[in-house]
A = this chain, B = another copy of it.
Amino acid sequence: MSPSRIPDGEQRGWIVPIGGAEEKENDPRILERFVALCGGADADIVVIPTASQLSDTGSRYESIFTELGVGRVTALDFDTRRDAEERNRLKRIGEASGIFFTGGNQLRLSTMLGGTPIAQLIRARNASGVHVGGTSAGASILSEHMIAFGKEGSSPTAGSVRLAPGLGLTNRFVIDQHFRQRDRLGRLLAALAYNPYAVGIGLDEDTAAFIRPDNTLEVEGSGSVTVVDAGNLQFSSMAQADEDDPVCLLGLTIHILIAGATFNLQTRTASAGTLITPKQTH
């Protein structure tokens, strides 16, 4: 499930993983920004609630997006893998300017959509400029290597994480969500220790990474985004460790970003962005 090639003359849509529990009513900055990105009143958003086992998740997001002024919004659920080949659903995805995955269990998304024409179409549409966002499980699914589940704790053990193939919009990063709230640094570090090429992105609740077509990540929301860059890793004991053993990792670079700060996934440089202007006194 590698990222689709970006057609000549086009640019990829934004990729917007959200850490879960995004504010939906009182100052819903993240969802508002996603809506603006997709075209505001002209936006056409498809919500995929398949990760969730609650029957009203789709209709709930339909109401939320309608409330935020979206021109057209449709919840599109997938109960079987056959649904993910069905013509009307493919047509509907083909019309959307934005696609949004709700929370739930990311393995429901990967088992239902993995390898289907819908998954392929979403990758192709994103490569052609359609914006794709997701919250919680819907954030995890976006990248090629997905954290399926794991253990809590801030230090990694060899078996503290299990990876699975995700939707594959990009292979530049591995996402984890509910990051501060569920103490997930250890499992993100373990994921990077297997193969340090990707950047780890830990998203707090009500916090999103808005990833531009040029692969610069901008932070939005009330919490922080922990970026783990293992590119200069000096040593990893992962290959010698048994499942419950702690893992030795030397030379990780970590940035804690808050709204306004950015990280360039290409050059791996962090910037305080708009934060450099001192806060107004009050």
Q: A241–B247 Cα gap in the complex (Å)?
A: 34
Q: Which 4 pairs of residues, A with B, have the shortest CB-CB distance?
A: A183-B183, A224-B246, A155-B180, A249-B256
User: A180-B153, A246-B222 in contact; A254/B252 too (CB < 8 A)?
Assistant: yes
**A226–B155 CB distance below 8 A:** yes
Give the number of times this chain occurs in the complex, counting copies.
Answer: 2
Residues of B within 8 A of A252 (CB): 253-256
A278 and B241 CA atoms in complex are apart in Å by: 10
**Contact between B153 and A189, CB atoms less than 8 A apart:** no
Binds B, one of A78-86, A126-134, A267-275: A267-275
CA distance A139 to B278 in the complex (A): 37
A156 within 8 A of B: yes
Across the interface, name the chain B residue whose C-beta is closest to A239: B278
Q: Are B248 and A258 in contact (CB under 8 A)?
A: yes
A235 to B258, CA, bound (A): 12
CB pair B154–A183 under 8 Å, yes or no, is: yes
The answer on a CB contact under 8 Å between A250 and B257 is: yes
Q: Which residues of B contact A185 (CB under 8 A)?
A: 154, 185
User: Could you tell me if B261 and A250 are in contact, using CB atoms closer than 8 angstroms?
Assistant: yes
Question: Are the CB atoms of B256 and A226 closer together than 8 Å?
Answer: no
List the B residue with the shortest CB-CB distance to A249: B256
